[in-house]
Chain A
Amino acid sequence: MLVLRHAVKTFGAVQALVDGSIELHSGEAHALVGENGAGKSTLVKILAGVYQPDAGTLLVDGQEVTLHGPAAARAAGIAVIYQEPALFPDLSVAENMFIGRQPLGSARRIDRRAMRTEAAAIFARLGVHLDPARIARGLSIADQQVVEIGKAISLEARVIVMDEPTAALSAAEVDRLFDVVRTLRAHGTAVLFISHRLEEVFALCQRVTVMRDGRQVLSRELAGLVARDLVRAMVGRELAERPPGDQVTPGEPLLTVDRLTREGVFTDISFTVRAGEIVALAGLVGSGRSEVARAIFGIDRYDAGAVTVRGHRLRRGSPTGAMAAGVGFVPEDRRQQGLVMDMSVQQNVALASLGRLQHAGLIRSSAERALAADWAARLKIKYGRLKDPVSMLSGGNQQKVVLAKWLGRKPAVLIVDEPTRGIDVATKAEVHHLLVQLARDGVGVLMISSELPEVLRISDRILVMREGRLMTELAHAEASEEEILSAATGQATAGVPAPGQAGGER
C-alpha cells in the first residue's frame, strides 16, 4: 500500500536518514522501533510531507508520489498522529477535525450541525465518547489523539502514522487506543506504530521495522521474534546489566531527610543517602515521590522536618541554597523544567555553572564552550554544533545535556527524577552507566523511577512510597518487582497487577 525506498535526508552535517525504507500493507499494524536519533522521526516527517527527502522514492498504491507539504501527504491518504497532538484549543472538537474542509450548506456557509453529526458518527465508530461540540482546550492527551484519529478517518486516510502515541497515556488510555487501532485495522487501514515500549509492539503489531543510525536494519513479521531480538537489532549488541557485587561500600551520609512533611502531599519522610550510593525512590505515579524531591531541592515548600546535606541544614524553599550545598536536580520533565529549549547546547550545559565561568561579571564564551565540549565528549552527546539550539537534539541527548549541566558543578548529591523517561534503550544504558560511575566516584544519587527494571538494575537501596508515606526500604539483594509493587500498591503480592499496568513501564 505504501512503500518508501532508500530515503536520504541530511541536515547540515548530520545525516539523519541514510537509507530509510519501509513497506506498509493494508490492514496491518506495523511497528517502527529504534533508538532515539535512529531516524524514526525524520522518516515520519517525510511521510507527513513536512520534510522533503534528498533522495529516495515513495510509492502509494504503486504510484510514485512526491509530497511537497502536509497537504500533499493528506491528499495521498497519509495521516500522522503526533505524541502530543497540535490541536486548536479555542475551536470545537468537530471543527478541529474538519478545519479547512467543514461541510458547507447554502451560500458556502459552514453547516455546523452536519459537521457535529459527522464527528459524532466517527467517534461512535471508534467506540469512544467525546462531545464534538466542546472546545478542545482541556482535553487529555489521549482524547486529543482520538480527535486526530477521527480527523484522519474523516480524511479517509489509509495510512495512519502514530509517533509514540502511548508515551503520555495511562494504562487504561493505552488499552482504548489499542482498541481503536484494531478497529482501524479491521477496515483496511495500515497503521505505523512507533513506540519505545516493546511489550506494546508485541501486543499490537504484526510486523516490525527496526532502524539504527538512519538505516533500516530489520523488517519482518513479528511472529517468532522476542523483545531481545529487537533490542539487539536496535543497538547492534547485547545490553550489559550492572554486574552483581558492583556496589561500593557506602561512605559518610551526604543527604539526610528527617521527618519531612508537607500537608496533604507527603508525611514523615526520613531517609539517608550516603556517598557512593544510588538510592531509588519507587512508587506509583502520584505517590508523592517527585514532590519529596522537589521539596528537598527547595522548589516546593514543606511544613515540617529538615533536610541536611553534609551536616548543613538546608533552608526550606531555596534552590540556590541547595545548589550551594552541592545538590543537583535533574527534573522529570526535561523540556519544561530541565532545559531552555531555545538556548544552545553550550549555554544549557553552562547554565548551572555560570558563577564559575564569569570574569568581572561577564560570561566568557570560550570557557563556556570548553566546559560544554568537555562534557559533551564525556557523555557522548550527539549534536551538530555546540551553538545549535538544544531543541534540535533527540530526547536522549537532551537528557544528557541536563545531566551535563549538573555534573559540571560537581555535585555531592544528585537527584534524578525519571532520568530515562522517553529515551531509547542504548542511551538508557549509557545513563545508567553514568549514574553508577558517579556513585563510584563518591556522589550520592537519589533516583526517582517508575521503571522497575531500572530501579532493580542500578540502585543499592530502594525506598517505596505509597500515598505520601514511606512504606518500606529494600536492599538491592532482597528486592524484586513483586515486592516493590506490593509495597507501592499496598496489596498482597498475589493480587498485584502487571508492572506495565501499575505505571511501572512509563
Chain B
Amino acid sequence: MSTALVSQSERPPAPAGTGARKLTERAFRIRESGIIVVLVLFVAVTASIQPRFLNITNIQFILVNTTVFALLALGETMVVISRNYDLSVGSVLGLSAYLSASLFGGHPGFPIPLAFLAGLGIGLGCGLANGVMVAAGRVPSLVVTLATLYIFRGIDILIVGGKEVVANSLPSAFLEIPKATVLGIPVIAIAVAVVIAIGAYYLRSYRSGRELYAIGSNPDAARLAGIPVGRRVFVAFTVSGAIAGVAGVLWAAQYGTIDSTAGTGYELQVISAVVVGGVAIFGGSGSAVGAALGALLLSTISSALYVLGISPFWDQAIFGLLLLLAITLDRFISVRLTAALRSRGARHE
C-alpha cells in the first residue's frame, strides 16, 4: 500500500521544522560542551593557584581515579535512561573487589584475566537479581536496589568479617595494572574510554539501545509500541551489575587493600556524575559520553581540592552544589526548549 501512496507524492520533504532541529541540536551540544567548559575552567583556576596540579603524575592519577567511576557511570546511564535507578552499584563493587582479590590469596599464581572474569560473573549475578525483581517482579527499581544495596553489602560483611585483603597478598602484576601507561596515558583509562565509546555507540545506534531511551521517555507508550520493556530493563540492570563487578576488580588493583567497606557510598556519587553529565534523572535523554565526562569532572574536583589543600569534606558539599546546578540547568533548558519548539511549531501552522 505504501508504494501505491508514492504516486501521491507531490511535495518535496518538508523543510519547515529545520529551525527547531538546529535548536535542539544546539541545546544538546551546549549540554555536553558545558561540562567540558566547567572542567577546563576548574583545571585552569586550580593550576593557576597550584601549578603542580598539571604535572603528568597528577593527571595520570586523576585519569586512573576516574576509570572506576566512569565505568560505573556507563552502567548507571543505561539504567537511568530507562527511568530506573541502580543504587546497588557500590555494594556490588565492594563484593566483587573483595572476592576477586581474595582469589589471589589462596592461589598466588592465579591468572589475572580470570580474576576479572570472576568479578564480571559476580557483578552479573547481582545485576541479574536486580533485573529479575524489577522486570519480572515489577517492583520499583528504587526500592529493589535500595534493598540490594544493603543485602549485597551484608553478604560482603558476612564473607569478609573483620578480615581484609592486603596489597602484599596480591601479585605485583595485578597491582601494576593501573600504573601501566602508553605515551603517558594510563592504559586502563584508554581501555575504559574504549568501553564507554562502545557503550555510547550501542545506546545511540542500536535498536535495543534506542528502546531504552523510548522506555524512559514514555514507559506506557513503549509498552503500547510493542517494545519488550521488561526484557530491556532487565538487560540494563544486568549490564550495570556486570560493569560494577569489573569496576570492583579495577578498584582492588588500584587500592590493594580491600575490606568490607570498599565502594561504600559510591552509588550516589555515580548517580551524581551521571546527572551532572546531562542524563535526565527521569530518563529518556542523555549520553554515556556525557556521564563519563561527569565522572571525570567530579574526580578532577576531588583532586583539585586535595592539591589546593582544601579539606576533602568540601568534596561532598561541592558535589551537591554541582548536582543542583546541573538539574536546575536541565530544567531551564528543557522549559526553554519546549517553549521554543512550541512557538516554532505554531508558526508554521
Q: Is A189 an interface residue (CB 8 A)?
A: yes
Q: Is A102 an interface residue (CB 8 A)?
A: yes
Q: Which residue of B lies closest to A128 (CB)?
A: B14
In the complex, A129 Cα to B13 Cα: how many Å? 8
Task: Give B11 Cβ to nearest chain A Cβ, in Å.
Answer: 5
Q: Is B284 an interface residue (CB 8 A)?
A: yes
Task: Determine whether the beta carbon of B214 is less than 8 Å from that of A125.
Answer: no
In the complex, A471 Cα to B171 Cα: how many Å? 90
In the complex, A125 Cα to B223 Cα: how many Å? 28
Q: Is A384 an interface residue (CB 8 A)?
A: no
Q: Determine the chain B residues whose CB is within 8 A of the CB of A95 once the complex forms.
A: 210, 214
Q: List which A5-37 residues lie within 8 A (CB) of chain B.
A: none
Q: List which A315-340 residues lie within 8 A (CB) of chain B.
A: none
- B12, B210, B341: the one contacting A91 at CB < 8 Å is B210
Task: Determine whether the beta carbon of B284 is less than 8 Å from that of A130.
Answer: no
With A99-B211, A135-B341, A138-B338 in contact, do A86 and B221 touch (Cβ < 8 Å)?
A: yes
Q: Is B58 an interface residue (CB 8 A)?
A: no
Task: Give B189 Cβ to nearest chain A Cβ, in Å.
Answer: 26
Q: Is B21 an interface residue (CB 8 A)?
A: yes
Task: Determine whether the beta carbon of B227 is less than 8 Å from that of A100.
Answer: yes
Task: Determine whether the beta carbon of A125 is less than 8 Å from that of B6.
Answer: yes
Number of A-B contacts (CB under 8 A): 149
Task: Determine whether the beta carbon of B9 is less than 8 Å from that of A125.
Answer: yes
Task: Determine whether the beta carbon of B225 is less than 8 Å from that of A70.
Answer: yes
- B13, B16, B207: the one contacting A110 at CB < 8 Å is B207
Task: Give A151 Cβ to nearest chain B Cβ, in Å.
Answer: 9
Q: How many of chain B's residues have a CB under 8 angstroms from any CB in A? A: 52
- B16, B17, B284, B345: the one contacting A89 at CB < 8 Å is B284
In the complex, A88 Cα to B211 Cα: how many Å? 10
Q: Is A220 an interface residue (CB 8 A)?
A: no
A94-124 interface code vs B (CB 8 A; 1 in, 0 out): 0100011110100011100000010011111
With A86-B224, A187-B8 in contact, do A153 and B2 touch (Cβ < 8 Å)?
A: yes
Additional pairs, 7, CB under 8 Å, beyond known A125-B9, A134-B20, A137-B334: A100-B227, A104-B207, A124-B12, A129-B348, A135-B24, A137-B337, A183-B5
Q: Which residues does A use to contact B, with CB under 8 Å?
A: 50, 69-71, 74, 86-91, 95, 99-102, 104, 108-110, 117, 120-125, 127-135, 137-140, 143, 153-154, 156, 158, 172-173, 183, 186-189
Task: Please name 27 pairs of A and B residues whose Cβ atoms are closer than 8 Å in the assembled complex, sorted by A.
Answer: A70-B223, A88-B213, A90-B280, A99-B210, A99-B214, A99-B227, A100-B207, A101-B207, A109-B205, A110-B206, A122-B5, A129-B14, A129-B17, A130-B16, A130-B17, A134-B20, A135-B24, A137-B334, A138-B20, A138-B339, A138-B340, A138-B342, A138-B344, A140-B345, A153-B2, A183-B5, A186-B8
Q: Which residues does B use to contact A, with CB under 8 Å?
A: 1-2, 4-6, 8-18, 20-21, 24, 205-207, 210-211, 213-214, 216-218, 220-227, 280, 284-285, 334, 337-342, 344-346, 348-349
